Amino acid sequence: MQPIVSIANLSKVYASGLHALRGVTLDIAKGEIFALLGPNGAGKSTLINIVCGIVTPSEGMIRVGGHDIQSQYRAARRMIGLVPQELTTDAFEKVWDTVSFSRGLFGLPRDPGHIERVLKDLALYEKRESRIMQLSGGMKRRVLIAKALAHEPKVLFLDEPTAGVDVELRQDMWRLVRRLREQGVTVILTTHYIEEAEEMADRVGVIRKGEIILVEEKVELMRKLGKKQLTLHLREPVGTLPESLARHALQVGEGGRSLIYTYETRGERTGITGLLGDLADAGIAFTDLDTSQSSLEDIFVDLVRERA
Amino acid sequence: MKGVSMLNVPAVLAIYRFEMARFWRTALQSIVAPVISTSLYFVVFGAAIGSRVQTVDDIPYGAFIVPGLMMLSLLTQSVSNASFGIYFPRFAGTIYEILSAPISPLEVVLGFVGAAATKSIVIGLIILATASLFVPLHIAHPFWMVFFLLLTALTFSLFGFVIGLWADGFEKLQLVPLLIVTPLTFLGGSFYSIEMLPPFWRAVSLFNPVVYLVSGFRWAFFGRGDVAVGVSIAATLAFLTLCLGLVAYIFRTGYRLKS
Ligand SMILES: Nc1ncnc2c1ncn2[C@@H]1O[C@H](COP(=O)(O)OP(=O)(O)O)[C@@H](O)[C@H]1O
Ligand SMILES: [Mg+2]
């Protein structure tokens, strides 16, 4: 199936000379929830803002629903809703008016029924006659979401939707995202909370220093996340492994010169002691060993360190 | 993606209504202020000076200053409304929504500049109505009066829009109206005929574009101006074209709107 968002070889160099994105290629499938994960300054907002038309790309090609975002910007942008990272709202306008304004801006005729539904979904209906400046920060964020949904987008971008919001709004947001998915809306969100990606996403992309370093199904990712590999470099190549080692589920490396053992870091017992004992019993000697974590985990460790 | 049929009319209307709502929200300042200041001008210029300078070009002085007064407001209001209208969303960050919407630069300009021009025309007409309470007014060429009113409002709203894009602070936003527009208007024959100036200053005045606007506008009222009306019309159109070109250039380069 044709991806709903297709980004090819996208680069961005800001006027300051800063390389914010380097050759990003990414396809988003229709109807999925995609979480873009990465530390502050990785280029998440830049990527989203380029797709939405707020920042001009330096290089690359982007299609939304098959429409080029530059030459066919009208068709492309009609499909897109954006909730920006910053809490940028008007002050004096009333909630109802600002949400209706957004719908008009996207070229749609008035539809009070739709606006009412959106406001009710976001628990904003009671506040429809309030001026935005009278609302709390959390309520303002709801207004931004309502504005983004006013024109019934097919693709919704949420740029750090839960940064600094209270628990209630966070849960409402997750409910909303799931409901949108049921309606066939594609949701792309950025976050630097791993749990958020874990909770909401079908697929996760990790961006670091302007490069997408990994894109993976969440389920697959979680499986890799908790695993570590021990590689034993053997003195003599082995052919078939002795029966006594079967319980360790070892993989044999290239030319039988190494053995690879995968274990759970989260488990209480790694089984390494047992393995080494069994190897000695089987007379298999090794010259060296190393352990590796998936690079993703390194990133997550970095991320966690940044948050702390 | 071209052609009038593709014009995103709901978007233009949305921006227009949004901007007009701001105007009506502050209706008291928007409307009362020009009424008061016009009345003051009449008290100061009309009564005080008018008692000494009875007529200019056979026109009673009180009536003579009406086109100039209207122009003064039209210019300052157009520039400040339009510059503030586009500067504020840039400043507050709400411009993101306009940039991400399926609208062309032309439509953005139509919405913002249309609203700014409407406001200043409304204010111009309020001044006209207020003035008519003080002096009897007869408009010799109503069509051309409306022509100058519309084109001046449009041109200076475009000019204000450019300033609103260029400004990166509230000081700059006020700098141009304060240092350029207001002096040019006061020195542009709003309250006197440039015929009354010594020859040297008369020649200098001819470099002031506002002279042509005021003169044309006054011609529409009284059938007489400082320069031939054809020159006024040409100058107005030229300035409009210049501002349109400037705005088109700005949008083509994404200047100050997109990084
Ligand atoms: N308008 C801009 N001009 C220059 N540099 C910018 C601009 N916006 C963002 N950057 C820089 O680009 C990099 C990526 O920023 P951003 O996309 O906001 O990252 P993220 O959203 O992942 O935190 C950062 O180093 C940031 O400082
Ligand atoms: Mg960001």
Which domains, from first to last, does chain A contain?
Answer: 5-223 (3.40.50.300), 226-306 (3.30.70)
Residue B42: predicted pLDDT: 78
DSSP string of A181-237?
HHTT-EEEEEES-HHHHHHH-SEEEEEETTEEEEEEEHHHHHHHHTEEEEEEEESS-
Residue A159 CA: nearest ligand 1 atom is 21
Domain boundaries, chain B: 9-253
Nearest to residue B239, comparing CAs of B156, B164, B167? B156
pLDDT tens over chain A, length 308 residues? 789 999 999 999 999 999 999 999 999 999 999 999 888 899 999 999 999 999 999 999 999 999 999 999 999 999 999 999 988 888 888 999 999 999 999 999 999 999 999 999 999 999 999 999 999 888 999 999 999 999 999 999 999 988 777 888 888 888 888 899 999 999 999 987 777 777 788 999 988 889 998 888 887 776 666 667 889 999 888 888 888 888 888 888 888 899 998 887 666 677 888 888 888 888 888 999 888 765 555 556 655 455 44
Name which residue sits closest to atom 24 of ligand 1, judged by CA.
A41
CB A53 within 8 A of CB B100: yes
In chain A, whose CA is at the least distance from the CA of B89? A90
Contacts of A65 (CB under 8 A, 6+ apart): A4, A75, A76, A79, A154, A155
Interface pTM (ipTM) of the complex? 0.83
Q: Identify from B15, B96, B104 which residue to disrupt to test chain A contact, counting A C-beta atoms within 10 A and taking the largest count.
A: B96
Residue B27: predicted pLDDT: 80
Query: CA of A62, closest CA in chain B: separation in Å?
Result: 15
Residue A73: predicted pLDDT: 92
User: pTM of the full predicted structure?
Assistant: 0.81
Ligand closest in space to the Cα of A49: 1
Count residue pairs from A and B with Cβ separation < 8 A. 86
Cα separation, A237 vs A226, whole angstroms: 29
Cα separation, A206 vs A214, whole angstroms: 5
pLDDT in tens, B165-204: 888 888 888 888 788 888 888 888 777 777 777 888 777 8
Residue A203: predicted pLDDT: 93
Cα separation, A58 vs B196, whole angstroms: 58
Residues of chain B with pLDDT under 50: 1-5
Residue B5: predicted pLDDT: 47
CB A156 within 8 A of CB A148: yes
A107 and B8 within 8 Å at the Cβ level: the answer is yes
- CB count within 10 Å of CB B250 equals 18
**Helical residues (DSSP H) of B49-198, grouped into ranges:** 61-92, 95-100, 105-134, 142-166, 170-176, 182-186
CB A106 within 8 A of CB A99: no
B18 and A93 within 8 Å at the Cβ level: the answer is yes
CA Rg, chain B, in Å? 19
A106 → closest Cβ in B9, B17, B102? B102
Q: Which residues of A touch B (CB under 8 A)?
A: 14-15, 49, 52-56, 71-78, 80, 82, 84, 86, 88-93, 97, 101-109, 147
Return the best residue to mutate from A11, A13, A16, A18 for the ligand 1 pocket (most ligand atoms within 8 A of CB).
Answer: A18
Return the best residue to mutate from A10, A11, A14, A52 for the ligand 1 pocket (most ligand atoms within 8 A of CB).
Answer: A14
Amino acid at B235: A
